[in-house]
Amino acid sequence: MITAYINFHIYIIIHFMTIFHKYHGAGNDFIMINNLDKSVTLVPEQIKQFCDRNFGIGADGVILLEPSDKADCFMNYYNSDGTLAEMCGNGARCTAKFFLEQTSALGLASRKIELNIETRAGIKNIKVNEDDTYSVNMGAPIFESPDFPTVTGLTCDKKINIEGFDFNCVSMGNPHAVTIVEDLNKLDLKTIGPKVEIDENFPNKINVEFVEKISEDYYKVKVWERGCGATLACGTGACAVYSILNKLSPKPCLGEEITLEFPGGKLYLSENEQGHVLLRGPATFVFKGEISQLNLNSTVIK
């Protein structure tokens, strides 16, 4: 009887253990789960606890790698608060690396590899470069509401003042508000960020980027992500910053790569002939493990 009891509980624990891999792109970190067989189903409360940096694994989001009939795979991305997200540039690079490693397609030295990843913001083309960075074609920026959306129907060239900052809005598959500041060190991100995110002008909330110009091709950025809070980097945020700078500048940097330095690292932005924003940056594997789904209040990590 005791043996049967023990065996039953061993079976339950094994059955509910989920293998995960931890990745980051310039410090923007993700819990990656191979769900190509569609065996894993997570609810928002599980995602929130998995992402908790004290009681879970800790991450800015969870990405389920899933099958797609339109591309090589589908990036099923959730913010750390358990909400669905349309797109994540850093997550797309990490998904590409995770997919290639999980399917053993990577490992051909000095050869560029290209793949397509389906996201809720469309299919994104990703190239693996010889320097082990990943380039994502993020598509064309959208400068008009309701794609932000805003309650006032703003366009990119119309500023909106919130908390003393002038913001321009753009969508990269998800909404962004971008503002230029003189000194990022004087910015109280944890106070200003959430106020802008939930401002009444943005019915679906918004991602927020604060930008300091260092030179014509080098900028520093801090970001407050919708559904995540302050993060070390944001891929779509980098594209939003690049797009606003390009749109409003008297001398657009078409075709030229600029550097955006986030607290977690550098991302590189350019634009192709079709007006699509190209995001280049690292995708880094950190570790792998198993996590129990048995008890949301006492998550077990091995």
| Enzyme catalytic residues | 88, 234
Residue 278 β-bridge partners: 137, 270
Beta pairing class for 218-225 and 258-262: parallel
Distance between CA atoms of residues 287 and 274, nearest Å? 38
Cβ burial, residue 111 (10 Å; 0-12/13-18/19+): exposed
- In this structure, what token pair is assigned to residue 50? 């998995």
Beta pairing class for 122-128 and 113-119: antiparallel
What is the rounded end-to-end Cα distance, in angstroms, of the chain?
A: 28
Cα distances (Å, whole numbers) of residue 155 to 50, 140, 141: 38, 15, 12
- In this structure, what token pair is assigned to residue 31? 């819990």
Residue 284 β-bridge partners: 24
- In this structure, what token pair is assigned to residue 207? 């991602």
Distance between CA atoms of residues 254 and 101, nearest Å? 34
**85 CB-near residues (< 8 Å, 6+ apart):** 61, 77, 78, 79, 120, 174, 227
Beta pairing class for 160-162 and 134-137: unpaired
